[in-house]
Amino acid sequence: MVETESRRDIRKLKAEELKEFFVQHGEKAFRAQQVYEWLWNKSAKSFDQMTNLSVSLRDMLKTHFVINHIKVDHMQRSSDGTIKNAVTLHDGMVVESVLIPAEKRITACVSSQVGCSLACKFCATARLKRQRNLSPDEIYDQVVAIKEQSELFYNRPLTNIVFMGMGEPLLNYANVMSAIEKITSQKGLNMASKRITVSTVGLAKMIIKMADDGVKFNLAVSLHAALDKTRSSIMPINDTNSLAELGESLKYWYHKTKRKVTYEYVVWKGINDNEEHARALLKFAQIIPSKVNLIEYNPIDDGEFQQASEESIRMYMDLLERHGITTRVRKSRGKDIDAACGQLANKS
């Protein structure tokens, strides 16, 4: 057996490259299609699972390739049914993913990077140095793991995927798009694009690129303030991606895709819990058709950020809905296991 280090990860090969490999080794080209189906449709974790291939052919694949699938090393279950996974990658690095059950849906919240480079002050993941981007197969594997948990623990299918875990998806654009292609393809998991949401802090150039690329999934923007001074103080990325630039990119997004955007917005005590901020959000939300999720804040131990009062949340709700902006308060799930929005930091 060739050492692992000298064997290629077979999932890095495109279908055409797989076909070339088989032909070069005196095998029928259709074997590539069989293997591709095992990898991306049936989510095989080993060559031994590929039972329609001969033992000798499987042994040849083992000689040349590995399947660097993730391992769910630690699973925590919340009192509300949420499941948090500590996912170990092939190089020993760890990310987290979350299964979020609801009455009519089960959602997989997946990570796109090990750590994050954006330094949002209210987010636990931002305190971790960004180590590297996840590969398409590492993203795909998180979805598969949660799909299996959904069927095992809830006897229900996985219905939705959100890229709201660790990392900024648009800073790992090519790999995230490749993973979504595998997840939505009929030759892959065959999930509907409209059931997938990619969340970004608002990288204007990348939002424009997504629109130009004709993506079919949903876009969410982690906004949290619609006044530049406040947003820059809590999200440093706003210094180089101002609200004006973001607004222009979202106009372009809607012009090209005709898809609403969802704004994720936490109201914090003493930071953005007044009418000035609420009116700024209303103005920003009116740039294109949109909806707003007012998100319950999940503390990350330092006390600097505290959940605003119910009165402040109601003020936001009343103002936005009075002006026709669909708004809902999103209660966080999995807080008791640090699985809620902003809490993912490899504590498990």
Quick one: pLDDT at residue 117? 78
Quick one: pLDDT at residue 128? 73
**Which of 3, 5, 96, 116 is flagged as catalytic?**
96
Quick one: pLDDT at residue 1? 40
Annotation marks residue 120 as catalytic: no
Pick out the chain residues at pLDDT < 70.
1-5, 125-126, 300-303, 332-348
Q: What share of the chain is helix, strand, coil (3-state, %, to 5)?
A: 40, 20, 40
Q: Specify the DSSP class assigned to residue 75.
A: E
Phi and psi at residue 198, to the nearest 5°: -105, 125
Rg of the chain taking only CA atoms, in angstroms: 22
Per residue in 240-285, pLDDT tens?
Answer: 999 999 999 999 999 999 999 999 999 999 999 999 999 999 999 9
Per residue in 33-45, pLDDT tens?
Answer: 999 999 999 999 9
Annotation marks residue 116 as catalytic: no
Block residue for tokens 């947003």: 231
Closest CA to 298 of 125, 83, 50, 117: 125
Q: How far apart are CA 187 and CA 215, in angstroms?
A: 18
Quick one: pLDDT at residue 336? 57
SS3 221: strand
**Which of 109, 116, 123, 341 is flagged as catalytic?**
341
Q: Output the CA–CA distances (angstroms, integers) from residue 264 to 237, 267, 291, 296, in the order listed.
A: 16, 10, 9, 10
Q: How far apart are CA 243 and CA 119, in angstroms?
A: 18
- The predicted model scores a pTM of 0.90
